[in-house]
Chains A and B, each alone.
Chain A
Amino acid sequence: MPNLGVIISLSVIFGGLAWLAYRSIKGYEIDRRVIFVFIGIAVSAPLLFPITFEEKATPIVERLFNRIDELPAGSRVLISFDFDPAMAPEVQPMANAISRHCLHKGHKVIFMSLWGTGQSLMTAALANDILPGFPEKKDGRDFVNIGYKAGNEGVLNIIVSDFRKMFPTDVNGVPLDSTEVFDGIESCKDLDLIVALGGGRPGPKEWVLFVGDPGNVPIGVGVAAVVAPQLYPYYPQQIIGILGGIKGAAEYESELIKRHERFADMPTPGLRMMGPQTLAHMVIMFFIIIGNVVFFMTGRKKVI
């Protein structure tokens, strides 16, 4: 049974919208700040009184999930955190979920970043969110954080043929040759999968252009919603799967919980954000409908 907070919030939002619709039809103009207030309430209410929706992975997300799930333990997976704090609310949940999945499946994971701001986010996420759930995993043996390297596409252009030229050591100054993860890895071509997470430049698109296609390396991407449509043309030939925005993250989290008992109680920021998303989208759609109804009812007559 939904709690009282949810009922009151929904009543306020939709009651208010009905009142606005009535006023609009009567010909009164709606101040843009009223729209901001409604969006604010629609996003705040589900955060304060959580509303959760069930998510089911779409084929484009499921394909990447299955690839990670079906790779044999010990496979080499590189995860690149190419984002900044502005993109983090969308991309961090998918980064955490994919990292957990890879570590759980026993893959050897290489963490890196092409963004200066990505390294600190990656290091904080590993220390606070991801690794505490895997106390048995050892740095250098099961995963390695090689950090950030300046050079954008130049870095990709080099590591597609030689990793050590750009990354002689990991983020702690340990030579890559002394890590178990890098045994037998000369370049990106020796990896079993690359997961590029981001949304700017350099980001997932550059990984496809400079590493995936020339090196024939399978690439999966998790991107901020704004750039997701630009990545769709690469699916399924050049990209295994796409996690587009917070919806993609929520679908991935949902699949992780369904298929692996270990993650039943894991934090699911992606799923939690779908409540505010749904409500805010409904409010926006309602405003679009009000605007069109009023436009067609009043023609181009001047509003009061």
Chain B
Amino acid sequence: MKRSSYIVLGVVSAIFVLSWVMKSMSLSEVDDSIMQGFLLTVSAFLTLSIFSFLYKDNPFYKFAEHLFVGVSAAFWMCQGFWSTLVGNLIPRVSESLSGFFMVPYQPGSFNFHYWIPVILGLLLLMRLAPKGGWLSRWPLAFIVGTTAGLNFIKYLRSDFIDQVSSTFVPLLGDETNKWTGVGDFFSNLSLSADSQFVALLANWVIFVGVFSGLVYFFFSKEHKGVFGVGSRVGIWILMITFGASFGYTVMGRISLLVGRLTFLFRDWLGLIS
């Protein structure tokens, strides 16, 4: 390591210890203030380590990143064991094991079918065996098959049939805003959210958007003439949609930044209430 690296490490360590001591003193009325001070300081250190990547890649960022990956993997492994095996399976297959893991046994719920996932789970681990790797394909096939079958029905209903149904919107009036003629329409023209004009405009946007979007993705005919105009409207609709998604994504990312800065300013530095 270079001399400058030692200096940076020393400064960061000194700030860490100083923060720990000061946080522990400020939390003196709380039980276990030294541990609370340590945890807050570690949280702040890891947050700043991740932020440091914005300047450039560095060992603090790498440490925080690797720690996050390791802790996440360990967390989900423990979570899987305690929630799936202990939480879902054991109470249904063994009274003695339920007692050992201190989960309420579900008497009368014993069913041989619960052993099938156990066997499939063990077969899945055969992938690690040098000669029995092919056995892991059976549970994998089961997972893929059941997931596809289950999702096919749900998606067909909610994402296809119901969505097609939602696209058939009235273009001249609906239940709340019945069409009573051009004269009434213009005499009651309003830009409020529940007005007939806004409701109709929304329905027309859906109709034109869906239709021109479909035209854009229809490649069996050359996009020329009227068809080409429809296609160009379609691409505009798509671009506006992507723009709206990007706007929402920016908002989401800023919210996360606000969350971390709030933590630093409030919980760590105590600058805001």
**What separation, in Å, do the CA atoms of A281 and B245 have in the docked complex?**
14
Known A-B contacts A148-B83, A168-B106, A224-B252; A277 and B258 likewise in contact (beta carbons under 8 Å): yes
Residues of A near B208 (CB, < 8 A) are none
**What separation, in Å, do the CA atoms of A82 and B75 have in the docked complex?**
17
Known A-B contacts A39-B257, A233-B163; A228 and B83 likewise in contact (beta carbons under 8 Å): no
Partner of B250, one of A58, A148, A284: A284
Does A179 count as interface, using CB distance less than 8 angstroms? no
Stretch of B4-12, B18-26, B153-161 lying at the A interface: B153-161
**What separation, in Å, do the CA atoms of A210 and B147 have in the docked complex?**
13
Partner of A36, one of B54, B249, B259, B272: B54
User: Number of contacts between A and B (CB, 8 Å)?
Assistant: 119
Q: Is the interface of A mostly helix, strand, loop or mixed?
A: helix
Partner of A225, one of B165, B241, B255: B255
Does A3 count as interface, using CB distance less than 8 angstroms? no
**What separation, in Å, do the CA atoms of A47 and B255 have in the docked complex?**
12
Using a CB-CB cutoff of 8 Å, which residues 191-246 of chain A contact chain B? 208-210, 212-214, 224-226, 228-229, 233-234, 237-238, 244-246
Q: Is the interface of B mostly helix, strand, loop or mixed?
A: helix
A125 to chain B, nearest CB (A): 14
Does B96 count as interface, using CB distance less than 8 angstroms? no
Residues of A near B106 (CB, < 8 A) are 168
Residues of A near B262 (CB, < 8 A) are 47, 89
**What separation, in Å, do the CA atoms of A39 and B158 have in the docked complex?**
40
A170 to chain B, nearest CB (A): 11
Residue from the set A39, A90, A214 with the largest chain B CB neighbour count within 10 Å: A90
**What separation, in Å, do the CA atoms of A148 and B86 have in the docked complex?**
13
Residues of chain A at the chain B interface (Cβ within 8 Å): 33, 36, 39, 43-44, 47-48, 58-59, 86, 88-90, 116, 148-151, 153, 157, 168-169, 173, 208-210, 212-214, 224-226, 228-229, 233-234, 237-238, 244-247, 273, 276-277, 280-281, 284
- Nearest first, the 7 closest Cβ-Cβ pairs linking A and B are A89-B259, A225-B252, A150-B83, A209-B154, A225-B248, A116-B79, A150-B84
